């Protein structure tokens, strides 16, 4: 069985959501330039969260509440720790943080079905607040990855001046970069170095 088929569609979608939250809501570097996370400014926090929700296919009908958005930013910072620990092969640290996230978000598996849709496994209640519901799902998705042979699929970009994260869903499991842009940046630098050398 390959890694590609082992992620079911819900696990895939919560892992994709984790990546978007970490990459959009935590500071660091992105594609060679400094990346600033949304600050305490209410406008920047809620608009960053709205953008993240839109990116994962859940555009909010109205601006998300400020408290909820702030909590999601904090939880994204903790999800980043999981990616960094897994990338460093420190699975003990990754597991400790995931367990804390599962506890703090009160994640609990249950089957839900939308109208005309099949039953599927979710990790939060249907009436959960935005931040908590998503973070519970993300924590469960990360737990499924780290608790299986897919732990090595959580990564941090290997390109210089970039710390955006990714989940490697490729067949061969050799992904090292957050984006095609970072991959070609590194390729071009290696090419220049060869020519100069």
Decide: helix, strand or coil at residue 113: coil
Q: How far is the CB of 53 from Zn ion (least distance, A)?
A: 22
> 137 near 14, Cβ under 8 Å?
yes
Smaller CB distance to Zn ion: residue 101 or 159?
159
Smaller CB distance to Zn ion: residue 53 or 162?
162
How many residues bind to Zn ion according to rule CB under 5 A? 6
Binding to Zn ion (CB under 5 A) within 38-77 occurs at: none
> Of these, 162, 165, 166, 167, which contacts Zn ion (CB under 5 A)?
162
Q: How far is the CB of 104 from Zn ion (least distance, A)?
A: 29
Smaller CB distance to Zn ion: residue 19 or 136?
19
Name beta bridge partners: 167. 154
How far apart (Å, rounded) are the C-alpha atoms in residues 176 and 168?
A: 8
Q: How far is the CB of 31 from Zn ion (least distance, A)?
A: 5
Decide: helix, strand or coil at residue 196: helix
How far apart (Å, rounded) are the C-alpha atoms in residues 46 and 65?
A: 7
Q: Which stretch binds Zn ion (CB under 5 A): 79-87, 139-147, 178-186, 189-197?
A: 178-186
How far apart (Å, rounded) are the C-alpha atoms in residues 89 and 24?
A: 24
Q: Does 178 bind Zn ion (CB under 5 A)?
A: yes
Smaller CB distance to Zn ion: residue 49 or 159?
159
Q: Does 22 bind Zn ion (CB under 5 A)?
A: no
How far apart (Å, rounded) are the C-alpha atoms in residues 181 and 166?
A: 14
Q: Does 156 bind Zn ion (CB under 5 A)?
A: no
Sort strands 120-122 and 154-156 into parallel, antiparallel or unpaired.
unpaired
Smaller CB distance to Zn ion: residue 31 or 60?
31
Q: Give Cβ neighbours of residue 143 (< 8 Å, ≥ 6 apart).
A: 98, 102
Q: Which residues bind Zn ion (CB under 5 A)?
A: 157, 159, 162, 164, 178, 182
């Amino acid at each position: 069985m390959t890694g590609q088929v082992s992620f079911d569609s819900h696990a895939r979608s919560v892992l994709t959501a984790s990546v978007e939250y970490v990459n959009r809501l935590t500071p660091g570097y992105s594609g060679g330039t400094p990346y600033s996370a949304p600050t305490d400014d209410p406008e920047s926090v809620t608009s960053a969260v709205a953008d993240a929700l839109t990116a994962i296919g859940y555009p909010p009908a109205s601006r998300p509440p400020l408290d909820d958005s702030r909590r999601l930013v904090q939880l994204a910072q903790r999800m980043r720790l999981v990616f960094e620990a897994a990338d460093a092969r420190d699975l003990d640290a990754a597991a400790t943080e995931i367990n804390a996230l599962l506890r703090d978000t009160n994640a609990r598996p249950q089957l839900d079905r939308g109208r005309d849709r099949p039953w599927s496994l979710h990790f939060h209640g249907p009436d959960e607040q935005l931040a908590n519901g998503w973070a519970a799902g993300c924590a469960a998705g990360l737990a499924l990855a780290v608790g299986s042979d897919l732990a090595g699929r959580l990564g941090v970009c290997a390109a210089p001046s970039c710390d955006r994260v990714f989940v490697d869903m490729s067949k061969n499991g050799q992904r090292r970069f957050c984006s095609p842009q970072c991959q070609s940046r590194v390729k071009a630098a290696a090419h220049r170095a060869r020519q100069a050398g």
